[in-house]
Amino acid sequence: MKRDQPTPPLRADAFEVHRAAVGDGIELAYLHEGRGGLPVVLLHGWPGTKRLWWRNVEPLAAAGFEVIVPDQRGFGESTVPDGPHAYLDLPLAARDLRGLLDALGHERAVLVGGDQGCGVAQDAALRFSGLAIRQVLFNGTSPVLPELYRAHGIPSSQGEEIAAISDHKAIQGGEADALVERLGSDRGRIDYVKSFYQGRVWKEGEPPRNLAGPYSFDDAAAEFMAEPFGDPAVFRSSLGYYEAAERREYLSAPTMLDRVNEAVPTMILYGIEDEIVGPRFTARMEVAHAVRVGPFLVEEAGHFLQWERADVLNRAVAAFCADLL
């Protein structure tokens, strides 16, 4: 069956790009479609930019959402921070999100996030009471609740599970400068990032295994997604998220992912071919969100559910928020 997930042109100008100052000298570049609808913010992770949501913007706007899609600081067309250890971390990203919504005149929004964007949504929902109307979270950062997980018979550390699968966190968080030097050129950086889109196991030296179905990344789509990381400043800045995650002293503030979210209705999705975030992601998310729907397991998708099964995600978000539209 042909799925309803058409792809806008793979060009940077396929949507109008806007900019907003969010504090700290940072401007976020963002897409803004469907104005006047229910605000929804789509939050990318690594290696991502707003381009990852190309298949989601128009369907969600057509469903009645005001679709807001930022590049996080240091990514894509947003400001690259200056200075040593100018890292993006979850608290900074959550504050940037609050600043962007303030600039657009919104107190609240639906938050949708995968990978690190999943963590940003969760942090912002807890950091700013009332900000999140609802959350749709998939294939990403789970809260750090080791004692609670152990009480439920769940392995306590997502980081340890990821390390057993992939070495990308250790390389990008602990050897960032050496990685930058080794890649050495725009083409080298783009090819490195492309390999994350076209493989299932993010492990250096292991051939990519692309298990997904007909709507995964072909070479043109992977090139389009990776192109912003050819910029050496953007690529180096993007690695800062891993450095801050590996070294707590680099965090701008404590994260809010050390507690259960007792209030925000949350839908949990999981692209089942993901071999990155660890096999117990869904179990942890069930424990961490008291008011939850799911988890729902999505076939023919891995880590990048918003692209690989855009049809499922778009309809899930619309159905979860149907009473608000």
CB 132 within 8 A of CB 146: no
Give 192-198 contacts, CB < 8 A, sequence gap 24+: 192/229, 193/47, 193/225, 193/226, 193/229, 193/235, 194/219, 194/222, 194/223, 194/225, 194/226, 196/47, 196/168, 197/47, 197/221, 197/222, 197/225, 197/226, 197/304, 198/222
Residue 6 lies in a domain: no
pLDDT at 1 over 50: no
Q: Is 98 within the bounds of a domain?
A: yes
Whether residue 7 lies inside any domain: the answer is: no
Is the pLDDT at 84 greater than 70, yes or no? no
pLDDT for the residue numbered 201:
62
Rounded to whole angstroms, the Cα distance separating 85 from 244 reads 8
**Looking at the 3D structure of the chain, how many domains does it have?**
1
Instruction: Give 88-142 pLDDT, tens digit per residue.
Output: 889 999 999 999 999 999 999 999 999 999 999 999 999 999 999 999 999 999 9
Q: What is the pTM of this model?
A: 0.95
The model's pLDDT over 140-159, given as tens digits with 9 standing for 90+, comes to: 999 999 999 999 999 877 77
Q: Is the CB of residue 312 less than 8 Å from the CB of residue 216?
A: no
More confident residue, 24 or 295: 295
In 3D space, the residue among 144, 131, 142, 126 whose CA is nearest the CA of residue 97 turns out to be 131
Q: What's the confidence (pLDDT) of residue 243?
A: 85
Q: Does residue 263 carry a pLDDT above 60?
A: yes
pLDDT at 37 over 60: yes
Domain range enclosing 213: 17-324
Q: Which residue has the tokens 């690594």?
A: 46
Domain membership flag for residue 138: yes
